Every structure is written in C-alpha cells, then in structure tokens.
C-alpha cells in the first residue's frame, strides 16, 4: 500500500483525487480486459466459415473451457489476491491474457484455440478479485460505490466495442484474426499502464484501515482488537452467516443466462431470421447499450434500498418477464426479439452488478474482499461453462424456442433462491 496519511482540510481534496484516479484507471483496465474476453464469442460466427460448419461444437467447447478455468481460477485467485499485492496479480493476468489472444489470432487448428482459451480463462481470473481489493484499499467508501459503478459501465462499453467495432471492422478490413491481434496487444499495453500507474496512488480506503488496525491493541488490558487478519481465520463461518452458499447458486443461474444470451444471440438471430453474420454480430451490440443503462439504474436502486439482495431480486424479475414474453413472440419479429433479449440482458447485468461488485465490499471489515469477489465471480463462470457447450447442444436438439423456455426456467429458479436468502442477508448486514 502506498502514500502517506493526511489530516485536516487537505485530506478531503486529496482523497477525492485518489478516488477519481482509481476510478479512471480501473475503468480503463476493465474496458480493455473485456476486449480479450468477448472477442471469441463475437467472432465465432465468422470463424465457423474458416474452420467449417462442424466447428460449432468445438468453439462452444472453447467457451466452456474458458468458463471452467475462469470459474475455478476465480476461487484460487480470490484467495491469492488477499495475500499477494493486487497490482502484481492484475499485471500478470493482463499480460497472460494478451498472449493467449495473440495465439488464437494465429491459430490454424481448433484444438489450439481451445487450449489458448482455457489458459485465457486462468489469466482472466487473476484480474477481477484483485482489482476490487485494490479499489477497496485505495478508495473511500463513497468513492468505491461510485467507482465500481463506472467500472461496470466500462465493461459494458467494452462489449459494445467488441460487437460493434472491433470484430465487425476486423472482418471487413482483413479477417476475424485481426480482432484477436488487436485485443491481445491492447491487454499487454494495459498491463504496463496498470503496474506503472497504481503504485503512485495513495491508499485511503476501508480495507487499508482494517489492515492497519492489525497493529493496534489495548495497552491497558492487553486485549487485541478483532482485526481483519484474525477474521481471515474464520472465513467459512462468515460466508455461511451471510448466506454465500445460496448466493453462489443464484450467481450460477445468472451466469448461465448472461453468457447464454450474450454469446448465442448472433446465432439465434441468424438461425431464426436468416441475418448475415456481420448484421447478426452488430445487432448484439444493443445488449450492452441497454445493460449500461440498467447498471446505472441498479446502482441507484441499491443506493436507495441499501440491500443487495432486494435490489437484485427486482432485476431478476425483469429477466423473468422479458423471457416469458419472448417464449410467445420468438420467430415473429427480429426487432421484437432483439428488444426482449436486450431487456433480459439488462436485468441480468443489473443482477451481476449488485451481486458480484457490491456484495464483496460488505466483507472489507474481515479483510476477505478478494476472496468473496473471486468466489462469487467464479459462480458466474460455472453458469457460463454450462451455457457455452450446453446451449450449443441443447439448441441443436430443441431449437431456439426450447432454449428460451430453458432460460426462463433458470431465471425463475434463481429468483426463488434469492428470495429464500433475504432473511439471512438482512441479519448479516445489520450486524456488520
């Protein structure tokens, strides 16, 4: 941790500048990180033409392998992020992910694509938990709540750029390979920018104060304070008290829906309405546009309710209603299908923003922000692993109408599980 402590009137402007610098830095990093995460999902419809129509299952497998490695890696890297300086973990993740994208850009065989994308997932797993921890260390409470919103918006803008600019422009100018070369180079540059910039930012956040309290004790009676370091030794009781196992299942449902809709929307539109590949890819750009608006609304709803689970349940309701309508209208209008999928994705992103970015911050008092962030984000990619390969097979066997019905059932189950956790979470936030 960096910087010096300040007192008096100069401290507030300095903390405000720190919050702003961290918000800009983390937003840029997460924006670029999304380039190298979604380029395969966006480009796979064009890659089918290069590798053959029978490549659909293999590309689905590549997405599944990344989701598995990312999901498992999040659990491991979440714990690592609470013990290793996060600036080094994020740097290593960006460097490795950039290299994996470059490999895919030059790949001539699908097995190599699968291996590279599996390794890409491991590298990506290093980034989010440590990024959240660094923000909690360096930012004030209000600064974090605002900054994490902008980071979420930046990630959605990254998806917009992938679907609306990077992949389509690469296809038009050269081929889908150019998208991976660009994303890989961008991530390597972002890694260098991160490691050089973050070390100059002072630490003024809640987690920094919790860790500094490790050095304090009561000199009168010799009884030490219940510090963040000691609370790490009872992580499991804290997680169970908060209902994290139930939330883990809820986030799995959300992850299946998020990656299912985002990754397979181009194929759904092409198969159902016979759109060409570029039009199908670019139409998917509407999803993160809607999602960005919904993330802002989700932040406002949370700040009003001050309860993550109640806020998330509202957005799960939007998903259920949108997919319910789509089951009756799919096949009739491409525009209506795009709008309903966009609304469903917006609700999913609202759930994602609240459960994977707001919930971990509640655990700063125990010094396990990175652990919780990694754990919950891993659940997202357990769901993504199911959707990546599973939807490819399920849609071929049951058609896209049957797939939408399956999505609706998953959304309903996730909503019910979330509601069942209300009472436990309310007790937890009241106590902490």
End-to-end CA distance of the chain: give it in Å, rounded.
25
Nearest C-alpha neighbor of 90 from the set 197, 3, 185, 162: 197
Question: Hey, CA dihedral for 334, 386, 258, 167, is it positive or negative?
Answer: negative
Tokens of 76: 């491991």
Question: So what's the pLDDT on residue 259?
Answer: 80
Tokens of 265: 């929307």
Tokens of 228: 């963040």
User: If you compute the radius of gyration of the chain from its CA atoms, what whole number of angstroms results?
Assistant: 21
Question: So what's the pLDDT on residue 285?
Answer: 66
DSSP tally for the chain: helices H, then strands E: 18, 0
Question: So what's the pLDDT on residue 383?
Answer: 86
Question: So what's the pLDDT on residue 8?
Answer: 44
Domain boundaries, the chain: 19-206+232-431
Fold of the domain built from segment(s) 19-206+232-431: Growth Hormone; Chain: A; (1.20.1250)
How far is 349 from 326, CA to CA, in rounded Å? Answer: 18
The DSSP element (H or E) to which 368 belongs, if any, is none
Q: Which residues of 398-421 are buried (b: 16+ CB within 10 A; e: fewer)?
A: eebeebbbbbbebbbebbebbeeb
Looking up tokens 């449902």, which residue turns up? 253
pTM, full prediction: 0.76
Q: Which residues of 217-231 are buried (b: 16+ CB within 10 A; e: fewer)?
A: eeeeeeeeeebbeeb
* Angle subtended at Cα 207 by Cα 204 and Cα 208, rounded to the nearest 5 degrees: 45
- Count Cα neighbours of 367 within 13 Å in the Cβ-side half-sphere: 20
Q: Which residues on neighbouring strands pair with residue 217, listed in sequence order?
A: 224
Question: What are the distances in angstroms from CA 242 to CA 141, 357, 382, 406, 431?
Answer: 21, 16, 21, 29, 10
Backbone angles phi, psi at 217, to 5 degrees: -155, 165
- The residues, ordered by sequence, that sit 6+ positions from 404 with a Cβ below 8 Å of its Cβ are 323, 326, 327, 330
238 and 365 Cβ atoms separated by less than 8 Å? no
Question: So what's the pLDDT on residue 366?
Answer: 82
DSSP for residue 356: I
Question: What are the distances in angstroms from CA 187 to CA 76, 126, 134, 162, 416?
Answer: 22, 13, 19, 14, 39
Nearest C-alpha neighbor of 405 from the set 314, 329, 335: 329
Looking up tokens 């599973």, which residue turns up? 390
How far is 42 from 47, CA to CA, in rounded Å? Answer: 10
Instruction: Give me the tens of pLDDT residue by residue for the chain, a chain 432 residues long.
Output: 444 444 444 456 666 788 899 999 999 999 999 999 999 988 988 898 888 767 878 888 898 888 889 888 989 999 898 888 899 999 999 999 999 999 999 999 999 999 999 999 999 999 999 999 899 888 888 888 889 989 988 988 898 899 889 999 999 999 999 999 999 999 999 999 999 999 887 765 555 555 555 444 444 333 333 344 545 557 889 999 999 999 999 999 999 998 888 777 777 887 788 776 666 666 666 776 777 888 889 989 998 998 999 999 999 999 999 999 999 988 888 888 888 888 898 899 899 999 998 999 889 888 888 899 999 988 987 887 787 667 777 877 888 888 889 999 999 999 999 999 999 999 998 887
- The residues, ordered by sequence, that sit 6+ positions from 84 with a Cβ below 8 Å of its Cβ are 130
Neighbour tally for 215: CB within 10 Å: 10
């Amino acid at each position: 941790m960096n910087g010096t402590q300040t007192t008096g009137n100069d401290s507030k402007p300095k903390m405000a500048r720190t919050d702003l610098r961290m918000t800009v830095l983390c937003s840029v990093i997460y924006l670029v990180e999304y380039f190298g995460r979604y380029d395969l999902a966006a480009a796979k419809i064009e890659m089918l033409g290069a590798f053959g129509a029978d490549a659909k299952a293999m590309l689905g497998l590549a997405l599944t392998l990344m989701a598995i490695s990312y999901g498992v890696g999040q659990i491991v890297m979440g714990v690592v992020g609470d013990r290793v300086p996060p600036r080094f973990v994020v740097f290593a993740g960006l460097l490795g992910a950039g290299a994996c994208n470059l490999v895919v850009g030059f790949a001539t065989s699908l097995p190599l694509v699968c291996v590279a994308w599996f390794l890409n997932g491991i590298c990506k797993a290093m980034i989010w938990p440590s990024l959240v921890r660094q923000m909690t260390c360096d930012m004030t409470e209000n600064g974090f709540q605002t900054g994490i919103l902008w980071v979420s918006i930046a990630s959605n803008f990254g998806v917009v750029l992938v679907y609306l600019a990077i992949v389509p422009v690469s296809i038009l100018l050269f081929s889908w390979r150019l998208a991976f070369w660009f994303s890989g180079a961008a991530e390597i540059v972002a890694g260098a920018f991160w490691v050089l910039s973050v070390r100059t930012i002072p630490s003024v956040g809640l987690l920094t104060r919790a860790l500094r309290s490790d050095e304090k004790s009561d000199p009168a009676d010799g009884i030490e304070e219940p510090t963040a370091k000691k609370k790490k030794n009872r992580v499991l009781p804290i997680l169970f008290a908060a209902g994290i196992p139930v939330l883990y299942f809820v986030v799995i449902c959300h992850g299946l829906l998020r990656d299912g809709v985002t990754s397979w929307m181009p194929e759904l539109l092409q198969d159902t309405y016979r759109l060409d590949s570029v039009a199908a890819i670019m139409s998917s750009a509407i999803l993160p546009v809607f999602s960005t608006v919904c993330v802002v609304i989700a932040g406002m709803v949370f700040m009003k309710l001050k309860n993550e689970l109640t806020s998330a349940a509202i957005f799960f309701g939007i998903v259920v209603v949108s997919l319910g309508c789509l089951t009756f209208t799919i096949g009739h209008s491409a525009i209506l299908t795009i709008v309903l999928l966009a609304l469903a994705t917006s609700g999913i992103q609202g759930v994602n923003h609240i459960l994977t970015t707001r919930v971990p911050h509640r655990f700063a008092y125990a010094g396990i922000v990175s652990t919780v962030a990694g754990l919950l984000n891993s659940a997202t990619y357990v769901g993504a692993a199911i959707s990546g390969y599973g939807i490819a097979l399920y849609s071929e066997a049951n058609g896209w109408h049957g797939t939408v019905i399956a999505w609706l059932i998953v959304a309903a189950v996730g909503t019910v599980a979330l509601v069942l956790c209300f009472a436990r979470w309310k007790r937890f936030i009241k106590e902490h």
